[in-house]
Amino acid sequence: MFDTVFEYLFKYPRVAYERGEIVWSGSWSPLVLATVLLLGVLLVLWSYRWGRARTTPLATWVLVIARAAGLAILVICLLRPTLVLSTAVPQQNVVAILIDDSRSMGIPDQGDRPRGIVAQETFATAESPVLGEIEDRFMVRHFRFSALTERLRDSKELASEGNRSLLGPALDFVRQELATLPLSGIVLVSDGGDQDPEALEDALLGMRAEGIPVHAVGVGRERLDPDVEIERVDIPPSVIQGSTVIADVVVAHTGLGGATISVNLEESGSILASEQVELSGGTGSSTVRIPFSLDDPGVRNLRVRVPTQSGEVVEENNFRDTHIQVRDGREKILYYEGQPRFEVGFLRQAVRADENLQVVVLQRTGEDRYIRLDVDSGDELSGGFPSTREELFDYRALILGSVEASSFSPDQLRMIVDFVDRRGGGLLVLGGPAALAEGGFAGTALAPLFPVELEAPRGGPQDPSLPSEGSQEEYWATVRLLPTRNGLMHPALRLVDSSDANEEAAEIDVGEGASEEGESSVMGWDELPPLTTVNLLGATRPGATVLLEGQVEEVFGTRTGAGFGDDPLPIFAFQRYGAGLSAVLAVHDTWLWQMHHEVPLEDQTHERFWQQVLRWLVQEVPEPLAVSAPNTRVAPAQPVELVARVVSEEYLPVNDARVIARITDPFGAEQELELTWNLDRDGEYRGSFLPALDGPYEVEVDAIDGERVLVSPPLHIQAGVLDEELRSGAMRGNLLRRIASETGGQFYTMDALAGLPEAMRYTDRGTVVQEERDLWDLPLFFFLLMALLFTEWVARRRRGLV
């Protein structure tokens, strides 16, 4: 509508003014005309002097301005403004029509007709009036593109089957293919689907450098309503078998605000878990967390899906595929306890049935005297707490009980920091009379690891769970533990699998028939007995997360200064630190969840709590050799970039290793690829391969570092047709507008193509001629003169001057 009105008032389309230059072609001198205009204005002022008695000053100025503006328009017309344009000589230039042939062009949102069919009929068939007008002025070359670009010989070749819409490589291909011809411009017919941003930027740079305009024609609707899409699925790359995993799913939607939908996690068509989510707003995204567990080791191919909603045009974006490696190895954890207490035995008992956890206990019984439990050899921990990094780094997690800071050497404290920061291990510090601030850890090298600030110790290291010696001041509190909002959704605190049930914090059974399956009931959070803390934690550090808070029920003993208040206390908190994580659990008698008289004998809360906490602690601990890929799901003929990380026994980067990737294709054939050291990053080796077949690929990496031979955990790559092209099914109008704007072209939609053939004439590319078009007779000038004269007549009539 705007362009139609513009062309009516200004004689020529808007693009003509954008491409042309306005010059003055009149024979009159501008200085002479400016003098005449000034004299005319003065004459108008003098002519209205006699009517001042009958007009107000405002009315006088209205009359003067109207008459002066009319004189100015006449002067402009006498200057004879002219629009100078470069236009293409008919049939002497080439125009490329580049048509998207990807899968998204099969979306039927053009009056229930597929986009590709409409584009084909408009730009690739002889009966098209738009194509006819273009061919009247230019020699036309047709191309089609998706992941690859090629000449289009017959419109029937358009099938909307390509896996990607690589706009950048397509534009580059056309520019190079027609480099020897007088190319006036490119007509890009696309919905702007999946593309490579970096390649597009390079292509636009080349277009701007050569002055080639790209006229972008957007095919499809910019808003698909209604529509729901699985936008992102985040799960860990690997998990210990039987562990609770949280899948973070982002559901984007349009036009479904207020609706409640199911988000299902499936494997081989069977639903493993499902959660309900209420979509907020008319357009937006919602996040849902789906807890699940997998028992069988190996690669598990999963799909997150939402049911098709009524009226949806695109169903292919309602699901997203992913995979996870379920490992069955034994995770080795060191538990160092400074004094005999019940927590050690009950923790061991809680994880005894878990074949994937090995808790090695180092129990101090006196000065330089220790009990060692579940060690692998007689030499392990024979000298007490590890004194070298190699020995400590052999474990995947470390639990510190009630053990004072002075029991560690300064180097051992720094070793623990390196264990978390460099090795990527998990650290869990338990509460106790000799732990945290009470154990003198404030101000040590270990203090920054803690996710909370340490308060000043409150007097005595007396453990209230042990007989009192009566020689030291006692101060402690009983607290009832309740999960925070973050804790409710955390895998370490999933007492039951159902999210709703976990939030209800009521006594709940694992499920009907649990006893037949050999499972026992668990208690809800608000049913568990209170625990004891002697450690008052300070503020949480930036970036730390509190999972459990403690509501103080009773305080025992006295102390000077601030103590336990009425506000909930941070009890279980963690933070990421370097490559690993550190956590604090500031209670020391979780064994009460097993032995308290209110806890049923068959209750498994204590066992489930410790198994899940320890599994979470070691879940993402890295190996000395690991291989990854930016994309583990690739399209056919899409290269796979492999990145291997090699570290020494002290987890320092190794730059002189020989690193070989062994790649097994879907039929079992194996090939080797040597990875080369990345000069920009220590310990990193890179290489790439091209999957020739559709199906799963397995990559294992061997690294030879002196006498050490390392083997990485397997990396799994899935090659095949991707659904990324259909993820955002709506036409990406903003992207196409930017392409047109940055190259000097215009943006059009399929229902507004009338100005395209005319706009393509105005170009500086190819064989062109200069045209001069008069502007003095613009309809705009006529309407302005009529409006000014009418305004003056009305003003004079109202004042009795006519």
Can you spell out the DSSP letters for 691-757? Answer: --SSEEEEEEEEEEETTEEEEPPPEEEEES--SGGGTS-S--HHHHHHHHHHHT--EEETT--TTHH
pLDDT of residue 53: 47
Question: Mean pLDDT, to the nearest integer, of 42-56?
Answer: 60
Q: Check residue 622 and report its DSSP letter.
A: P
pLDDT tens column, 96-155:
999 999 999 999 998 889 999 999 999 999 899 999 999 999 999 999 999 899 999 999
Q: What Rg, from alpha-carbon coordinates, does the chain have?
A: 38
pLDDT of residue 364: 93
Q: Is 639 helix (H, G, I), strand (E, B) or coil?
A: coil
74: Cβ contacts below 8 Å, ≥ 6 apart: 785
pLDDT of residue 711: 94
pLDDT of residue 509: 38
pLDDT tens column, 165-211:
899 999 999 999 999 999 999 999 999 986 678 889 999 999 999 99
Instruction: Provide the pLDDT confidence category of residue 495 given band limits of 50, 70 and 90.
Output: confident
239: phi then psi, degrees, rounded to nearest 5: -150, 150
DSSP string, 178-207: TTTS-EEEEEEEE---S--HHHHHHHHHHH
pLDDT of residue 61: 72
Instruction: Provide the pLDDT confidence category of residue 557 given band limits of 50, 70 and 90.
Output: confident
- The first and second tokens of residue 169, run together, are 């490589």
Question: Mean pLDDT, to the nearest integer, of 517-534?
Answer: 74
Mean of the per-residue pLDDT values of the chain? 87
Instruction: Provide the pLDDT confidence category of residue 684 given band limits of 50, 70 and 90.
Output: very high
Domains and CATH numbers, the chain: 2-85+773-798 (no CATH), 90-219+731-766 (3.40.50.410), 227-327 (2.60.40.10), 331-619 (3.40.50.880), 625-724 (2.60.40.1930)
Q: Check residue 404 and report its DSSP letter.
A: -
Q: How many other CB atoms are there within 10 angstroms of residue 90's CB atom? A: 11
CA distance 693 to 466: 66
CB 583 within 8 A of CB 451: yes
pLDDT of residue 544: 96
Instruction: Provide the pLDDT confidence category of residue 63 given band limits of 50, 70 and 90.
Output: confident
pLDDT of residue 727: 80
User: CA nearest 339: which of 232, 432, 249, 272?
Assistant: 432
9: Cβ contacts below 8 Å, ≥ 6 apart: 778, 779, 780, 783
CA distance 415 to 393: 9
pLDDT of residue 506: 38
Question: Mean pLDDT, to the nearest integer, of 330-351?
Answer: 94
pLDDT above 50: residue 467: no
CA distance 735 to 92: 31
pLDDT above 80: residue 28: no
pLDDT of residue 508: 38
Question: Mean pLDDT, to the nearest integer, of 366-378?
Answer: 91
Where are the extended beta strands (E) located within 558-692?
A: 569-577, 580-585, 625-628, 633-634, 640-646, 658-664, 670-677, 684-689
CA distance 589 to 599: 14
Question: Mean pLDDT, to the nearest integer, of 604-622?
Answer: 93
- The first and second tokens of residue 81, run together, are 């403004």
pLDDT tens column, 278-313:
888 778 888 999 999 999 999 999 999 999 998 888
- Helix 167-177 to helix 197-210 angle (10° resolution) is 30
The pairing of strands 545-557 and 475-483 is: antiparallel
Highest mean pLDDT pick, 30-44, 131-145, 713-727: 131-145
CA distance 406 to 442: 12
Question: Mean pLDDT, to the nearest integer, of 1-12?
Answer: 80
DSSP string, 319-361: EEEEEEEEE-PPEEEEEEESS--HHHHHHHHHHTT-TTEEEEE
CA distance 498 to 511: 10
User: CA nearest 647: which of 657, 638, 637?
Assistant: 657
Angle, alpha carbons 131-137-142 (nearest 5°): 45
- Token pair 């707003």 is found at 281
User: CA nearest 87: which of 749, 596, 762?
Assistant: 762
pLDDT tens column, 735-760:
999 999 999 999 999 988 988 998 88
By mean pLDDT, which of 65-74, 223-232, 437-446, 592-601 is the weakest? 65-74
pLDDT of residue 186: 96
User: CA nearest 534: which of 428, 404, 453, 435?
Assistant: 435
By mean pLDDT, which of 23-27, 86-90, 234-238 is the weakest? 23-27
Instruction: Provide the pLDDT confidence category of residue 335 given band limits of 50, 70 and 90.
Output: very high
User: CA nearest 395: which of 348, 365, 367, 428?
Assistant: 428
pLDDT above 50: residue 270: yes
pLDDT of residue 48: 60
Question: Mean pLDDT, to the nearest integer, of 65-72?
Answer: 80
Instruction: Provide the pLDDT confidence category of residue 598 given band limits of 50, 70 and 90.
Output: confident
330: Cβ contacts below 8 Å, ≥ 6 apart: 355, 356, 357, 358
Angle, alpha carbons 551-336-528 (nearest 5°): 25
pLDDT of residue 469: 36
Residue with the bigger pLDDT between 385 and 48: it is: 385
* Entry pTM: 0.76
pLDDT tens column, 432-461:
999 999 999 999 999 999 999 987 665 444
